[in-house]
Amino acid sequence: MIREVMKREILDHLISLRFSISAILILILMVCGTIVSEKVVKVRMERYGPGEIKGFYKAKIWSAVSGLGFYRRKPSPLGFIAMEDELIWPFFIARGGILMSGFGEQVVNYTKATNWALDYLGATFFTSEESSLFPISMRDASFPPFIPMDWAFVIGVLGALMAILFTYDSISGERERGTLKLLISNPVPRSHVILGKLLGAMVVLTFAIGFGCIISLLIAMRITPLGKEDWIRLLLILLFSLLYIAIFVFIGISISSRFRSSMESLAILLIIWMVFVILMPKTIEFVYMETIPHHPYEDILSISTKMEDEIDNRYREKGLFDKVPPWEYGKEAIELWRRYLNEFERIPYEVDRMFDKRVAIVERARMWSRLSPASIYRYGLEAIAGTSLPGYMEFVTQIRQYIKDTLNILKKADMDDPNSLHIFWMKEGMSQREVELPRFKQGRSFLWMIRKGMLDMMIILILFIGMFLLSYFSFMKADVR
């Protein structure tokens, strides 16, 4: 009998006007969103290049130390699924390495490189095309100026609304028409009725949303072909989406079982949708970010300058700049310059620490925002698709480790040169040898992404089970009269 009830539900939904309107709206939004997303991905792919250059390269030690570092984040092939964070969190990071000349008696006596502090926004390096496509960064605001028409929005917001519209009268409507009492009077277990209705609604919603997903995917694959791991992540995303939609199907049937009027059920469900899907996600994030004190990103950027000034002033009092160039003033002057330049290595760690503190505040805001199922769904999709804050921080972690390893290689090569004064960061005090260095290679760990999305997937699964039990027992105890 479950199959019979399910067939009846499917036919009723397929011939309804709300199904036609919903399916067409989902398709249009997904197609438009994917086209816009792929335009962004195309520009990023062109900037990123045909692929990573692997292996090693040779360079003079000084050239490597003074050269500007510029690291681009590899575009995610699944960026069209959840692209919001791709706009907020920058897609490239720069580091220091600009030459600075030291003056003594109006003559350039030495040349030193700046510290390798990371500029996490890379704001200086926007091209005109990128500026038009990425009008916002963490420097300007915490939230995007527009709503991205990605899967996370279409399914997370409109999919939830569709689930409500397909189930608000599933029980109360039949009670009003008297068909529910007639159905229950037959030798049909109530459990079969509720399971048939749940499955019928899920099949119709899966068809309506799935068709839009297939067309969206075909458009996206024209520019970004998917690899084996991408297909696995895509299947996980589809399963995650079904669980999310099912939650609102269960809520809709539960509310419909408790109210005798379909209009009352619809009103209650729309309020639930408006509060938990529309208002709550960004409101919680905004209130948290506004009430918790934190350093603006401009303050983080100014840390480097402030620390440099403090170090300069402290060593100026020690007469450092009177001993230029240091090799003409003996070992004591050389050692003083070593200590002076080595202190600049503290600056990148302080910049990283302040940046991590700001990221931690954003992560806590996102944690509170998980009171909304829509936020849980979006964060889960972002993590699995590799467009999320955790994915960005994985990129940052890889850059930090690469810089650390590269500096260790350069310093060791300098220390191994007996002709060097070992005044690191100063051109005249460093080795002139050539050294072999590894190229930066960004890795995308499938397990990292799954692990970062595990919390959201577990919460959705718990909500799925809880809402299913709620809808099941609400109907089992409902008055059919």
**Residue 334 to residue 308: CA distance in whole angstroms:** 19
Q: What is the mean pLDDT of residues 315-333?
A: 82
**Residue 387 to residue 381: CA distance in whole angstroms:** 8
Q: What is the mean pLDDT of residues 340-367?
A: 85
Residue 258 in contact with residue 478, Cβ under 8 Å?
yes
pTM of the model: 0.83
Residues forming a β-bridge with 99: 113
* pLDDT score at 292: 67
Residue 131 in contact with residue 146, Cβ under 8 Å?
no
Read off the pLDDT of residues 227-251 as tens digits, 9 standing for 90 and up.
888 899 999 999 999 999 999 999 9
Q: What is the mean pLDDT of residues 109-136?
A: 56
**Residue 162 to residue 277: CA distance in whole angstroms:** 13
Whether the per-residue pLDDT at 144 is higher than 60: the answer is no
Whether the per-residue pLDDT at 108 is higher than 60: the answer is no
Structure tokens at 134: 């990425």
What SS3 state is found at 10? helix
Whether the per-residue pLDDT at 177 is higher than 60: the answer is yes
* pLDDT score at 174: 83
Helix ranges restricted to H, 223-345: 228-258, 262-273, 280-291, 297-317, 331-343
Whether the per-residue pLDDT at 481 is higher than 60: the answer is yes
**Residue 232 to residue 34: CA distance in whole angstroms:** 20
Residue 135 phi/psi, 5° resolution? -80, 0
Residue 171 phi/psi, 5° resolution? -105, -50
Whether the per-residue pLDDT at 129 is higher than 50: the answer is no
* pLDDT score at 135: 36
Closest CA to 379 of 459, 467, 271, 276: 459
What SS3 state is found at 329? coil
**Residue 85 to residue 82: CA distance in whole angstroms:** 8
Return the amino acid letter for 214: I
Whether the per-residue pLDDT at 119 is higher than 80: the answer is no
Residue 9 in contact with residue 200, Cβ under 8 Å?
yes
Residue 2 in contact with residue 191, Cβ under 8 Å?
no
* pLDDT score at 27: 92
Measured in residues, the chain has a length of 481
Whether the per-residue pLDDT at 328 is higher than 50: the answer is yes
Q: What is the helix (H) or strand (E) element at residue 104, kind and residue range?
A: strand 99-104
Structure tokens at 244: 């999310």
Averaged pLDDT of the chain: 81
CA 380 to chain centre: 9
**Residue 280 to residue 274: CA distance in whole angstroms:** 8
**Residue 273 to residue 279: CA distance in whole angstroms:** 9
Rg of the chain taking only CA atoms, in angstroms = 30
Residue 122 in contact with residue 55, Cβ under 8 Å?
no
* pLDDT score at 294: 58
Return the amino acid letter for 217: L
Dihedral angle of Cα 87, 373, 367, 229, to the nearest 10 degrees: -60
Q: What is the mean pLDDT of residues 23-30?
A: 92
Residue 156 in contact with residue 244, Cβ under 8 Å?
yes
Whether the per-residue pLDDT at 414 is higher than 70: the answer is yes
* pLDDT score at 355: 84
Read off the pLDDT of residues 427-477 as tens digits, 9 standing for 90 and up.
888 888 899 998 888 776 777 778 888 999 999 999 999 999 999 998 888
Among 101-110, 234-243, 259-268, 372-381, the least confident range: 101-110
Sheet holding 118-119, edge to edge: 69-72, 92-95, 118-119
